[in-house]
Amino acid sequence: MLLLYLFLLLLPHTAFSSHCTTQTNTKTFQKCMNLPTQQASIAWTFHPYNSTLELAFFGTFISPSGWVGCGINPTSPEMTGTRALIAFPDPNSGQIVLLPYILDPTVKLQKSPLLSRPLDLHLLSSTATMYGGKLATVHNGAAIQIYASIKLKPNKTKIHLVWNRGLYVQGYSPTIHPTTSSDLSSIATFDVLSGSSASQHRDLTGLRVIHGTLNAISWGLLLPMGAISARYLRHIQALGTTWFYAHAGIQLFAFTLGTAGFALGIRLGQLSPGVEYGLHRKLGIAVFCLGALQTLALFFRPNARNKFRKYWKSYHHFVGYSCVVLGFVNVFQGFQVMGASRSYAKLCYCLGLSTLIGICIALEVNSWVVFCRKSKEEKLRREGLIGVSDKGSSAIHH
């Protein structure tokens, strides 16, 4: 199941982009490069004598009412600060329009619509063309070419290219793009003179797979298994203290794997500048902290006769169940940010989780049956309906 999970989790991030091209209907470029996400590519010609860059971006729409854009960030490889050209169907005429936008920090907060305004770059010219000419229509998968001629600063040949696409445009204001791992990684740094890419934009798919797998197994499966062992095995007298060692062992192993997964998540954040998963990160930190508190609680467990034992048990139960619930939520949040919301990997995890839930229901029903039976026997014993013959025989013997 683990090998299948690894393989299927990898599928959503496999690249199927076509080869880049230096030829268009109207122009021939010197160099081209496939971009790592969204099946996009670029072609360009750089003129060193006047620092002019002619750039063609090739992308695709994901919605008939969507948008496609690309731009340059003058300072860093991230969305904030990008000077972008965004193409979309004009809401009045239906023809493709290309407008300039500056993505300042307020764009992430989404407090106000994104409004077009002139770029502070030396933009010489720009156009957007649909494949198929004027008769082409915007649809899911429709290809578009965005051309721009830009005068760069002298002796500056390294640029940070940012691109993306969205589902809707409100008037002339593009709305937020999807927030999958692929969409948030649509950034590339390269040298327009040599064509070499910067090393920081490496393929992080393998690390993401390991991070997701470790966390799904540890926080999403092993941790609840440890809770199940403590809740239902401790009442089986034949096991003695075995239930405690099983519970502690499973929880410690889950926390060890979870710590490795958490550390990988921190490292992925460092290797992905400009890529942020706010809710997923906060939940991950909360789950890790709760797991650490649970582990520490094992070493500070009071003696059974200690007056503080009941408070420790309440704390242990509350923190433990909180960690399990948040772990479930964050695993599903992880599937969402990795773009695997409808993947077989998520199906495999749901099957494993459903199995655990089914086991819990069966054990819970059995516990209540045993509890009710013992309560009934105790009531009959108090009323003298059980053990009467034994008392009578002892009285006759006396």
Confidence class for position 203, pLDDT limits 50, 70, 90: low
Kindly tell me if the per-residue pLDDT of 8 is higher than 80.
Answer: no
Q: Kindly report the average pLDDT of the chain as a whole number.
A: 82
User: In this model, does residue 48 exceed pLDDT 70?
Assistant: yes
- 230-256: per-residue pLDDT in tens? 888 887 777 788 888 888 899 899 999
- pLDDT above 60: residue 88: yes
Report the percentage of the chain scoring pLDDT > 90: 25
For residue 177, pLDDT beyond 70: yes
For position 87, what pLDDT does the model report? 94
Question: For 205-228, how does the pLDDT look when each residue is reduced to its tens digit (9 = 90+)?
Answer: 788 889 989 999 999 899 889 888
pLDDT score at 2: 45
What number is the average pLDDT over the span 87-106?
88
Question: What is the predicted pLDDT for the residue at 9?
Answer: 44
**Whether the predicted pLDDT of 30 surpasses 60:** yes
> Which residue has tokens 């600060």?
81
Mean pLDDT of 246-267: 90
Instruction: Check pLDDT > 80 for residue 304.
Output: no
Given this model, what pLDDT does residue 142 score?
Answer: 86
**What mean pLDDT do residues 154-176 have?**
90
pLDDT at residue 95 tops 90: no
Residue 17 pLDDT > 70, yes or no?
no
At 10 the pLDDT is 41
pLDDT score of 300: 81
Residue 278 has pLDDT above 80, yes or no: no
Question: Does pTM surpass 0.75?
Answer: no
Q: Which residue has the tokens 């197994």?
A: 217
Q: Which pLDDT value is given to residue 396? A: 40
Task: Please determine, for residue 198, whether its predicted confidence score (pLDDT) is greater than 70.
Answer: no
* Maximum average pLDDT range among 92-106, 171-185, 267-281: 92-106
Type of residue numbered 133: G
How high is the pLDDT of residue 394?
42
Rounded CA-CA distance 58/131 in Å is 10
Question: Residue 148 has what pLDDT?
Answer: 94
Residue 384 has pLDDT above 80, yes or no: no
pLDDT value for 370: 79
Average pLDDT rounded to a whole number, residues 148-174: 91
Q: What pLDDT, on a 0 to 100 scale, did the predictor assign at position 230?
A: 84
Q: What local confidence, expressed as pLDDT, does residue 390 receive?
A: 45
